[in-house]
Structure 1
Amino acid sequence: MSEKYLSKNFTLAQLTFSETAKRLGINNDPTDRELNNLKTLANFLLEPLYKITPFRISSGFRCLNLNRAIKSSDTSHHVLGFAADLVPTKISPEEFAKKIRASKIKITQCIIEFGWVHVSLKLDDVRMQFLVAEKTKSGIKFKPFNS
């Protein structure tokens, strides 16, 4: 069985695989709507970002059950197929975020997290928002990324 490509370089498997889903027996298959969102994400955001620097996808689509299993927010863009977490392989997450900002590629959010960069694209919500996540005693807080 051949892999289903969503774009030139990215497959459905790359954007839906989850060790947690596998371990817990959670079906992480997207609906048709979520699949269309993943195609948009792959073609209009991930492909242009891949031209900036290579990366691996550590997390893409997460069905609601999987998202809850990892204790993420129900409103996460991952649940709708609008987001992916990327680990750049040749530069730091901070340097990647700087290059994303300089590229002016349309993006909803770019968040430097804890060794990866969360990126999302919702075409009707192109905010160009750049943030840094920080762990605090009261939880994770987000502040503007100004570098």
Structure 2
Amino acid sequence: MKSTEDQLNHVMVEFYEKLSSWEQAVVKDNGYSLPQIHTVEILGGHGPMRMKELAEKIGVTTGTLTVQIDKMVNADLVTRMPHESDRRSILVALTEQGQALYREHDALHLQLTGELTAEFSDAERVQLLSFMKRINAEF
């Protein structure tokens, strides 16, 4: 019999694969790449960010992010603006079109979360939230 840790490992990998597949299916028809959608999600959830902070959250270099942000500026999803208190920093923020895309994509995530936890009690949802926060804090 497999250990609890081994079972948990396989369940987490399976969940990741299913969530990634779902994300790919949702994104494929809207004309944007998955990294662009992830950038929109981060900016939508956190507000304008410095390029360095955004690159760290996405897990890419600032050079890679610069190329992606150039494309997103051209697609009118984000805008660059100078930082108010640090002249050396550039902030990236969602445009109105980027905010609309964020709201649309966030609604899909909310719907998926509702579907996945529909059979959970309120207490189970609170417990899952606590576990997920603890897992995220470890990254």
**Range into which the TM-score falls when normalised by the shorter chain:** under 0.3
Higher strand share: 1
TM-score, reference length from structure 1: 0.26
Higher helix share: 2
Report which of the two structures shows the higher radius of gyration computed on alpha carbons. 2
TM-score, reference length from structure 2: 0.27
